Amino acid sequence: SQAEVKTGLKTREVVTLYNGEKKDVDHINDPAAGKVYLLLNLGLAKTATGSTSFEWKEIVVEDQTENRYQRLENDSFITQHNYSPRMTGLTIRFGENKGWICFEIPQTAADGKLFLVHTTSEGTQKLEIKK
């Protein structure tokens, strides 16, 4: 997986207006004070069919002092900054899914080790995030 820590996102897009004129549009997103964005490019493979599905609440980012952070409730803004494809927040029932997701975590947490933690009724998997 790919991981990036950003203090803010700013992307300039050149849009063509209906009259053919080109105009710069800035997309700017900033995390809350003292926080950073942690962008993860994940690949999830859901191989077994059946009643169990992958739920986003099962995945958290954990820092080295075991604080846990949920995925941002609405991270659709990341597509404006060329983090594409974005993985939707929908339940994953089957197949292979790849894409970017975003967390907002304290800068102090981002400075240390971070782990991706997936917890289900079958147990917990913990992977170190390489940034």
Say if residues 81 and 22 touch (Cβ distance below 8 Å): no
- Enter the tokens of residue 118: 């997936």
3 state DSSP class of 56: helix
pLDDT of residue 49: 59
60: left (phi over 0), alpha (psi -120 to 50) or beta: beta
pLDDT of residue 33: 97
pTM of the predicted protein model: 0.85
Amino acid present at 98: K
3 state DSSP class of 77: helix
CB burial of 95-128 (b: ≥16 within 10 Å; e: otherwise) equals eebebbbbbbbeeebbeeebbbbeeeeeeeeeee
Task: Give the pLDDT of the chain (131 residues) as one tens digit per residue.
Answer: 599 999 999 999 999 999 999 999 999 999 999 999 999 998 877 666 555 667 778 899 999 999 999 999 999 999 999 999 998 877 776 677 889 999 999 999 999 999 999 888 888 989 999 98
pLDDT of residue 44: 76
- Enter the tokens of residue 91: 């339940």
